[in-house]
Structure 1
Amino acid sequence: MKKSARWIPATAIPVAVIAAGIVVPSMAASADVDLPDKTPQQVLALAAGSSGVAFSGTVEQTSDLGLPDIPSSLQGGSSSGESTSDALEMLTGSHTAQVFVDGEARQRVQVVDDLSERDVIRDGRDLWSYDSTSKDATHTTLPDTSSRDLPDTLADGTAVPQTPSELADAVLDAVGDTTTVTSSDDVSVAGRDAYRVVLTPDDADTLVARATLTVDAETGVPLAVTVDARGQDDPAISVALTSVSFETPASSVFEFTPPADATVTEVAAPAEGREAHGGEHAEPVVIGSGWSTVVGLDGATSVAGSAPADGSASGGDQGDRSALLDQVMTRVDGGRVLQTSLVSIYLGDDGRAFVGAVDTETLQAAVASAPAE
């Protein structure tokens, strides 16, 4: 398992950095599940060593982040407005995904909704994304096959963790001196015996109350991850496998040919210090550490559709996106902010975006301390 920045999309609306997903997984603590004792650190090491394991399964996810309902009148219109709406819908609806993994360079995620499907497929250096509704396909030739990480944006413009392993990566990035790690009851998830550990931040500034990581006892693959927010009874984020097989998926699963009626776009692989659409960008600004880290991105809101400070818009697309953002965000000096139960986001009128698992006051203080462009 590798550390990654999947919650930080390079080109998508920054609202999409909030991970979709709360599911009540089929797990049960039982006297029948009595695994050999492992320390919490041994369980984390088991999870960290699972990156080469082949498996397939079904992931179910919904969300409970306290986002407001979006009026239907703002959910369509232009293609850009639809993309922004799709990103928000991924954060508020319920979704089922089929996941296939064969080592570090072959993965496929199929997000299945009513009468539609969104796919991200990696087969070695070839990376495809496809949306059956819009019939848009994107192809990228990756520079090498050494990294398991997929690009930060999916076919619909979101950067949502699609598997327990992806969410576990993000959670484990925060483990350090500011985290208390404890063991919990052994459980059964999707018919698999599993260890469970609880990570509790020792950080008064974060919105995260705790994260619970459930790890397959045999393979180390994360089967379920839930993240609880302070002051909220139900989990804010959870991604769980409801069924899983550790047989290697067939090679044909990772082969993709776009349909004849698809619109195919070739996108260059992002180089160091660049985003996928070609512009020069500085490395992300990182403020703080651990659970209350705030990350800033240059130029993110210009893609997301940030409107001028006076609320005007330069065109139909930007107007649609601006109106949609105004439904979920609050105007502040220099930009907009949004606080969910778990994550706060700042979209600046200057094109910068900042995100962190902190409240809006802490986030704005971090923005004020960030280096000027």
Structure 2
Amino acid sequence: MAPYESDHATGTGPDEDPRTGRRKAARYVVPVAVVGVAAATIGLVPALAASGDPDLPKITAQQLVEKIAKSDVQRMSGTVKVSTDLGLPDLGSLQSGMGSGHDGDGSSADPRTKLTELASGTHTLRVAADSPEKQKVSLLERDAEYSLIHNDKNVWGYDSASNEVFHTTAQHTGDRREHRPSATPDDFAEEALKSVDSTTSVTVDGTARIAGRDAYQLVIKPKQSGSTVRDVTIGVDAKTGLPLKFTLTPKSGGAPVLDAGFTKVSFAAPPASTFDFRPPKGAKVTEEKPGKDGRREHAPDFGEQFAPGGLSGADTIGEGWTTIARFDTGAKGDKTSGSEQGGAMGGFLGSLGDQVSGDFGKGTVFSTRLVNALITDDGKVYAGAVTKDALVKAADADK
């Protein structure tokens, strides 16, 4: 089947809330965690939607991807459940011991550190938006709540547990995502639709009811062997084209590595008061000025933790789903297996991985349910959403 072609989507009426903007052309990126690996690609298979409940008009995968690309919902509110299971130990106590602020001296309300909690476990978010200038995301905890609010020029972070406030200013760029954390199905889907070619098949696999809405199921699968990804499923709202659910399942089976979905959603405009914020009495307020270009990364993109490109300075080996990031730490002789130079920390890290050897020499492979990383004894790192054998093979070929 030919690659993506620019036909027009068919089968649905006007969006509930028409939007003037249009996203960039749909592209697909292999979702990965911990490290960024280069873009994977897809050849769109125009499979028709299977019968199911609800009974929706048939649509091809190409048309459904285009529908997502055209979707531009700016007014909405809802509740999102996010579950992440990389097979890693609970790092909650470690995070607490490291302190709540950024670089050890910041605010517990700084979103760059607070929202890293989403990288493991199950969490509930409340989200709301009413234009590119008004957005709010709240992380609901057992006895507290963390909120990140973007209202016009102001960006506020508030941690009720510590009664700390983080404040900075925002530029008006027209990008509705720039000033809020990315942790909704829409965000993950956008990261998953960034590059297109023949290493992936995409089909429409029936319909579903998600958060009370009729939705199509878009299923993305790697064609290449050696990937640790079995498939990605995106539940797409039939009327607006907004992704309502995103599920990434590893080839090893079991629970999804990432499952993010709306449990409630409304496309009515939220009350204006939703985006109002004033620091509570007695709160500690930390002010941060924008960088030289007027911008800063005050809204961490959780979605990009599951996408390539997050590792600055890395070279790549291979293509598509089997792309491997390669870089040199420069720490030659600091063996992860526990040499005298590596010390106690080296021995501890080595005990967590599998010792391997090949033409490249010796090293240790650290594994999650999605991403594997090979750290060689001469300080090189090979990582990606690929099998351990694929990493060793890449290191041998790179010698």
TM-score in terms of structure 2 length: 0.65
Larger radius of gyration: 2
Report the equivalent of 1:344: 372
CA displacement at 1:366 relative to structure 2: 6.6
The answer to whether structure 1 residue 177 and structure 2 residue 179 are counterparts is no
Match 1:186 to one of 204, 207, 213: 207
1:255 counterpart = 2:285:
no
Aligned to 2:127: 99
Distance 2:348 2:272 in 1: 41
Q: Distance in 1 between matches of 2:199 and 2:53?
A: 34
Pairwise CA distance, 1:235? 1.8
Tell which deviates more after alignment, 349-358 or 168-177: 349-358
Q: 1:251 to 1:48 in 2, by over 3 A?
A: same
The answer as to whether partners of 1:174 and 1:290 remain within 8 angstroms in 2 is no
**Equivalent residue for 2:99, pick from 74, 79, 95:** 79
State the one-letter code of the partner of 1:102: D
Q: What is the Cα deviation at residue 193 of structure 1?
A: 0.6
Matched, 1:285 2:305: no
> What CA distance in whole angstroms lies between the structure 1 residues aligned with 2:397 and 2:323?
13
Distance 1:246 1:68, change over 3 A: same
Q: TM-score if structure 1 supplies the norm length?
A: 0.69
Deviates more, 1:129-138 or 1:177-186: 129-138
Mapped partners of 1:251, 1:100: distance in 2: 11
Q: Provide structure 1 residue ranges, at least 5 long, that are not aligned to the other structure.
A: 9-13, 19-28, 155-160, 277-281, 300-305, 314-318
Listed one character per residue, the Cα deviations across residues 138-177 of structure 1 (whole Å, up to 9, x for unaligned) are 333334322233369x6xxxxxx51000111122235432
Distance 1:297 1:99, change over 3 A: farther
- Is the 8 Å Cα contact of residues 293 and 356 (structure 1) preserved in structure 2? yes
Residue 147 of structure 1 pairs with residue 178 of structure 2: no
Change (3 A) 1:256 1:93: same
Q: 2:255 matched to 1:234?
A: yes
Q: Does 1:115 align with 2:143?
A: yes
**Larger deviation, residues 77-86 vs 223-232:** 77-86
Corresponding position: 1:264 with 2:292? no
Residue number in structure 2 paired with 1:25: none
Distance between the aligned counterparts of 2:196 and 2:67, measured in 1? 15
Distance 2:87 2:127 in 1: 27
Assess, with a 3 A threshold, how the Cα gap between structure 1 residues 360 and 122 changes in structure 2: closer, same or farther.
farther
- Post-superposition Cα deviations, 1:20-77, rounded to whole Å, max 9, x if no partner, equal xxxxxxxxx98551111111111111111223432111011222222135595x5643
SS at match of 2:97: coil
Q: How far apart are the structure 2 equivalents of 1:171 and 1:116? A: 32
Corresponding residue for residue 15 of structure 2: none
User: AA paired with 1:290?
Assistant: G
SS at match of 1:42: helix
The answer on whether the counterparts of 1:100 and 1:249 sit within 8 Å (CA) in structure 2 is: yes
Look up the SS of the partner of 1:185 in the other structure. strand
- Counterparts of residues 4-43 of structure 1 (less than 5 Å): 15=34, 32-43=53-64
Instruction: Please give the alpha-carbon distance, in whole angstroms, between the structure 2 residues aligned to 1:349 and 1:251.
Output: 57
Comparing 45-54 and 287-296, the one that deviates more: 287-296
1:202 is matched with which residue: 217, 220, 223? Answer: 223
Q: Offset of 1:298 from its aligned partner?
A: 10
- Distance change >3 Å, CA 85–CA 124, structure 1 → 2: closer
Gaps of 5+ in 2: 1-22, 38-49, 299-310, 330-335
1:297: Cα distance to partner? 8.8
Whether 1:225 and 2:251 are equivalent positions in the alignment is no
Amino acid at match of 1:179: T
SS at match of 2:253: coil
Does residue 246 of structure 1 match 2:264?
A: no
Amino acid at match of 1:77: G
1:213 aligned residue: 234
Alignment of 1:291-370 (within 5 A): 291-294=321-324, 310-311=341-342, 338-344=366-372, 356-360=384-388, 362=390
The aligned amino acid for 1:262 is K
Contact map agreement 2:170 2:179 (CA 8 A) in 1: no
Percent sequence identity over aligned pairs: 35
In 1, Cα distance between equivalents of 2:61 and 2:381: 35
Tell me how far 1:202 sits from its aligned partner: 1.2
How many residue pairs get aligned? The number is 329
Following superposition, the deviation at residue 273 of structure 1 comes to: 12
Query: Secondary structure of the residue that 1:176 maps to in structure 2?
Result: coil
CA distance in 2, matches of 1:54, 1:324: 49
Which deviates more, 135-144 or 161-170?
Answer: 135-144
User: Deviation digits for residues 235-260 of structure 1, max 9, x if unmatched?
Assistant: 22110000100001223222333334
